[in-house]
Amino acid sequence: MENNKIAPEILKRAQVWLDGNYDKETKAEIRNMIENDPEGLTEAFYKDLEFGTGGLRGIMGVGTNRMNKYTVGMATQGLANYLKKMFPNNKTINIAIATDSRNKNTFFANTTANVMSANGIMVYLFDEQRPTPELSFTIRHLGCQAGIVITASHNPPEYNGYKAYWEDGGQLVAPHDKNVIDEVKKITDINDVKFERNGDLIEVIGDEIDSIYIKKIKGLSLSPEIIKRQKNMKIVYTPIHGSGVKLVPESLNAFGFENVINVPEQDIPDGNFPTVKSPNPEEPAALAMALDKAREVDAAIVMATDPDADRVGIAVKNDKGEFVLLNGNQTATLLINYLLKKWKENGLVTGNEYIVKTIVTSEILKDIADKNGIETYDTLTGFKYIAEIIRLLEGKKTFIGGGEESYGYLVGDFVRDKDAVISCCMIAETAAWAADQGKTLYDLLPDIYVEFGFYKERLLSIVRKGKAGAEEIQKMMEEYRANPPKQINGSGVVMIKDYLICKEFDISTGEEKDIDLPKSNVLQFFLKDGSKISIRPSGTEPKIKFYFSVKDQLESREKFEEVNDMLEKRIDDIIEDLGF
């Protein structure tokens, strides 16, 4: 393949690597792409892999737009430089590093440890894969100034990533997110990166942290006596080849659940995720094997965690004895309802407690909290914002729990990210509480809807790839802002919230209020009939997301199916009215 089929700027960027201080294997791969794979070379070098507000995420391979030793090294050097600027008076700067089950996880973890230790930073490195939330816990427990987990969440097998955390155990938020990005951008020459490992500054950690973490999780239990009565409840669990394999079953056992049934084929940590198309617990296909096992053993509940064990998908039996998948809003509803009822029953409510949810998560969580005298905080999408609220209110108010519709939940404040290990334990406890009343988790939903109103949610993602797609998405948002609908599906728009300008508009009164949240490209329309439509372009994928939430009264459990069908049709009609 001739070089003239490759754009000159791509060849120039590749030549920097061929001439630079890069290993011979990397250079050989670049030469091979120049000769045989010009398209692959272009993809690998047309831009730099961006260090975003959460860190790195990309396809593994050689090149500036790939996850490899050098892009990870440059990102780590930038972060190390920022840590030194921020903590100049610290005798030592400490960082914790963990990985999930992704391919090359150990290599990237060691690369990160090498660079950090070469910069004089003390590294606490986990001996093998661990859940992301345990990394969050470890930062706080060991008094670290930062943390890194090697993960690409539920992306396909060819991806890996690098997620950065600050000293509070939460992901980077302002001003640190932008400041770290600026420092990373300053590393333009590979010779600026210190790769020489300092073994004296690397301490391997493992089981001893697990024990402390699990003990803290066990302390969250609100119904130990109920668990004793329901200890034989059958729980099928799958880590989908990820890092939850050890700690989720172990934590459930510590809670007192003695009948945790694994899916052996998926217990094997494997970054190729061989038994699923996608290791995403939001997708029904990812739970197929666990559901087969649940039917085989007649389980009460199915739990599936994603590769880094921060999100969990749940399946339960409906009133016909068939397993159905709960969406993220339903699981959050069941969990928050249980937590608040038990906090009141156990005499723990003082009037100074709160929960947190994201703006696209079901409003029923606020209704439940209001009735129980608990304050609700709304945040932008992303658990780092929930962690920020916890940090800001630390020592002033008590965080009970929180979550987001995308299957991430947290109970207690010793972790500062969504935690599927904690969530599995507390959801299992909720199921035991239901069983103690002769009910299933599914049975609890109509009870909640009768009390608080029947909320139904759905997510619609519209993919628009490439430059033209990005422009189309931008035009859609501009059009909604310039010409907002006066009514949707026959119901008047009574309020508009625009998070890009941080303004809330009451259509009936003309009143305008400020929204006390960071700017974000999100629009929300609230309708007279209680519906809420949220529109948000994805920050990581070529898609625009529409979140639909509708509501009606449920007079009795017997009318559950009737109202459910009516709300499903209402969402269908809203989508049709919007032209999709």
Same domain, 234 and 330: yes
pLDDT at 466: 73
Q: What is the CATH number of the domain that holds 438?
A: 3.40.120.10
Same domain, 568 and 470: yes
Same domain, 95 and 169: yes
Same domain, 186 and 261: no
Q: How far apart are CA 279 and CA 259, in angstroms?
A: 24
Q: What is the dihedral of CA 160, 130, 240, 444, to 10 degrees?
A: -120
Domain assignment of residue 293, yes or no: yes
Same domain, 259 and 246: yes
pLDDT at 227: 98
Domain assignment of residue 219, yes or no: no
DSSP state for residue 161 in the 8-state scheme: E
pLDDT at 513: 96
**By residue range, what is the domain housing residue 414?**
227-452
Same domain, 439 and 461: no
Domain assignment of residue 399, yes or no: yes
DSSP per-residue codes, 416-471: -S--HHHHHHHHHHHHHHHHHTT--HHHHHHHHHHHH-EEEEEEEEEE--HHHHHH
pLDDT at 542: 77
Same domain, 177 and 200: yes
Q: How far apart are CA 243 and CA 230, in angstroms?
A: 27
- pTM over 0.85? The answer is yes
Domain assignment of residue 119, yes or no: yes
Domain assignment of residue 57, yes or no: no
Domain assignment of residue 210, yes or no: no
Q: What residues have CB less than 8 Å from 12, skipping those under 6 apart? A: none
CB 552 within 8 A of CB 568: no
Handedness of CA 320, 324, 328, 331 (dihedral sign): positive
Question: What are 175's two structure tokens?
Answer: 């001003």
Alpha helices in 119-255 (DSSP H): 132-141, 176-185, 207-218, 224-229, 244-255
Q: Which among 101, 136, 153, 534 is annotated as catalytic?
A: 153
Q: What is the CATH number of the domain that holds 507?
A: 3.30.310
Q: How many domains does the chain have?
A: 4
Residue 423 is a catalytic residue: no
pLDDT at 464: 86
CA 355, chain centre distance (Å)? 18
pLDDT at 3: 58
pLDDT at 1: 42
Chosen domain end from 452, 468, 496: 452
Pair type for strands 312-317 and 323-325: antiparallel
Domain assignment of residue 56, yes or no: no
Pair type for strands 375-379 and 353-358: parallel
How confident is the prediction along the chain (580 residues), in pLDDT tens digits per residue? Answer: 455 688 999 999 999 999 999 999 999 999 999 999 999 999 999 999 988 878 999 999 999 999 999 999 999 999 999 999 999 999 999 999 999 999 999 999 999 999 999 999 999 999 999 999 999 999 999 999 999 999 998 888 999 999 999 999 999 998 999 999 999 999 999 999 999 999 999 999 999 999 999 999 999 999 999 999 999 999 999 999 999 998 999 999 999 999 999 999 999 999 999 999 999 999 999 999 999 999 999 999 999 999 999 999 999 999 899 999 999 999 999 999 999 999 999 999 999 999 999 999 999 999 999 999 999 999 999 999 999 999 999 999 999 999 999 999 999 999 999 999 999 999 999 999 999 999 999 999 999 999 999 999 999 999 887 777 888 899 999 999 999 999 999 999 999 999 999 999 999 899 999 999 999 999 999 999 999 999 999 866 678 999 999 999 999 999 999 999 999 999 999 999 999 8
pLDDT at 294: 98
Same domain, 427 and 379: yes
Same domain, 305 and 346: yes
Chosen domain end from 175, 205, 235: 205
* Number of CB atoms found within 10 A of residue 541's CB: 12
3-state secondary structure of 533: strand
Chosen domain end from 400, 432, 452: 452
Same domain, 95 and 33: no
Same domain, 417 and 465: no
Q: What residues have CB less than 8 Å from 240, skipping those under 6 apart? A: 266, 273, 275, 276, 279, 281, 286, 304, 305, 306, 307
Same domain, 372 and 465: no
Domain assignment of residue 543, yes or no: yes
CB 580 within 8 A of CB 460: yes
